[in-house]
Amino acid sequence: MELNLKKHFNDLLFLPLGGANEIGMNLNLYHLNGKWLMIDCGVGFAYNIPGIDMMTPDISFIKQHRHNLLGIVLTHIHEDHMGAVQYLWEELRVPVYATQFGANFLRTKLSEFHLDKTLPIKIIDSEHVLDLEPFYLEFIGLTHSVPEMKAVLVKTQHGNVLHTGDWKLDPDPVIGDVSEIEKIKHLGDQQQILAMICDSTNAINEGHSRSEGELYNSLKSLIAGRNGLVGVTTFASNIARVHTIARIAKELGRKVVFSGFSLHRLFEVGKKSGYFIEDFGIISDREAKLYNKNEILVICTGCQGEELASARKIASGNHPYLNFTKNDLMIFSSKIIPGNEKKIFELFDLLAKRQIDVMTEKDHFVHVSGHPSRDELKQMYQLARPQIAIPVHGEFIHTKAHCELAQECGVNRVIQTENGLAIRLSSDLGRCEAVGKVKTGYFGIDGNQLIDLKSEVIRERKKLQEAGVIIISLSVNDSLKILGRIAISSIGSYPLNQDQESENLLRSEINNFLKNRARELDLHDGFGLNFLKKKKKRQKLEGSKIIKDLEKQLRSRLLKIFEELMGKRPALEVIIHLID
């Protein structure tokens, strides 16, 4: 059922366009009295799409209502929450709200897109209420793997919604503040939370997520026992982890090498925001050759197996300055994001072939999550006491488990939502219901442009990837007689240059087809396409139209031949030039 906004003009609605039953692309909308609020605007990984590594949610729905969109509020700086701003903002052109650290990071990214002087960024903090009538927003600090993660309390006439963002309950977060759980407890005690929109990433994990402080001791012990070159790959945006590793390097007397542009960018933003105040002895990867292997520690990008990232270059022996060899060590201080398994295991294999030792979270304590496990979720429900629970930020298995946990915690109403589903939230006994759907989908980030993943462009790319392309070009006169030689090019497809018999078959088929069509159209010298074009305009019989029809018909006939030769259909282009 399509969402009827006139009917629900005065209702409080929650509507995710991305991030529901999937990892990444968090983009959430709230509606009240005809006005809209967006919380987060993120990207996600794309899988098995030629030329596309990242994608954004389709925002065509909210684009239609952008004149009523009050702003975009960012909970924190991770790419899955704010990485789409630079791609989508020009279609919306509304203020963006972020913490000081978030604003500093966003401006750095926007400068690469020449938007830093155009896009208005406004600073938020935990001390002030943001008035975006009919929404009044308060911000609550929660611990995550980056500083200044803010849950958003969306206050409305229908009740308050706690939008948690990403969080964990960590008593020793290394960088950033401890979660402000007393604020949440106060709201819960006063029964002031109508609904909670909550992180589901680790909802199938029993227990409590381990502390970043604990990880420090484990990583230090593992690195201290090594004599050669040590590398640690993690997400560049995991500021807490980068800080942990840099501290360990300093204590062990190793210089820190940042390898990867995004690491340098985050480090500079962190320093500007007051988070990297120690002198960690940072050197460039160019300078690494001036030191012995046991005098440096490399922090590099590429923990998800990305093709162009530093870890891949190191593993394949193609890094211009860092040469890892037998018995050196690469630590993966990260988890495998679902969908990235193949790329990561390819990376493991490359490292193994070069006899470089590998440590992962599967065999050593080298990573802690920035998200809540089940015990933390239970604690959050005890603190917040929401009447309604809507789990997001997780695949179906995670949100399903989260729904079951919320019910066990005594929540009255629990909804497992999906992208595009509008949910009405009501203070009337904590009622909630799905009231309609809107269009959703994905756009691939292709260089500096966005491409609809359902478009012809993507379909053609997949066809090219699977069976290559064959281009056939020929010139004819207006009686459809072939002039010169038929040009046949095969790119990544059937090797016609090695199969003269098949090539001759194609040429013969083309000749016969054109002769038959000329006969059917009664074309001959003196009465060709150009004659028809001049004499029969009232019948709209134009030579160019006939040529287009001929290209289409010939393509269809030739595809059948290629299907017999190859067992599948390549991308085929037939171009007929009409020579006057």
Q: Where are the domains of the chain?
A: 5-207+369-452, 212-359, 468-578
How many Å separate Cα 360 from the centre of its chain?
A: 23
The architecture that CATH gives domain 468-578 is Roll (3.10)
pLDDT at position 519 is 82
pLDDT at position 385 is 97
Residues linked to residue 54 through DSSP beta bridges, in sequence order: 45, 445
What is the rounded distance in angstroms from the CA atom of residue 569 to the CA atom of residue 505?
A: 17
pLDDT at position 541 is 41
- Contact (Cβ atoms closer than 8 angstroms) between residue 405 and residue 377: yes
Half-sphere exposure at residue 360, Cβ-oriented, CA atoms within 13 angstroms: 11
Which CATH code of 3.40.50.720, 3.40.50.10710, 1.20.120.1750, 1.10.1740.10 fits the domain covering 212-359?
Answer: 3.40.50.10710
Cβ-based neighbours of 228, under 8 Å, separated by 6 or more: 293, 294, 325, 327, 328, 329
Query: How many degrees, rounded to 5, is the angle at CA 40 between CA 77 and CA 59?
Result: 130
Of residues 255, 322, 351, the one with CA closest to residue 294: 255
Token reading at 573: 């282009």
- Edge to edge, what strands does the sheet with 255-259 contain? 282-283, 255-259, 296-300, 230-233, 329-332, 357-359
**Low pLDDT (below 50) residues in the chain:** 534-541
pLDDT at position 526 is 53
What is the rounded distance in angstroms from the CA atom of residue 296 to the CA atom of residue 309?
A: 20
Of residues 337, 267, 259, the one with CA closest to residue 304: 337
The CATH superfamily label for domain 5-207+369-452 reads Ribonuclease Z/Hydroxyacylglutathione hydrolase-like (3.60.15.10)
pLDDT at position 276 is 83
pLDDT at position 535 is 46
Of residues 508, 506, 514, the one with CA closest to residue 472: 506
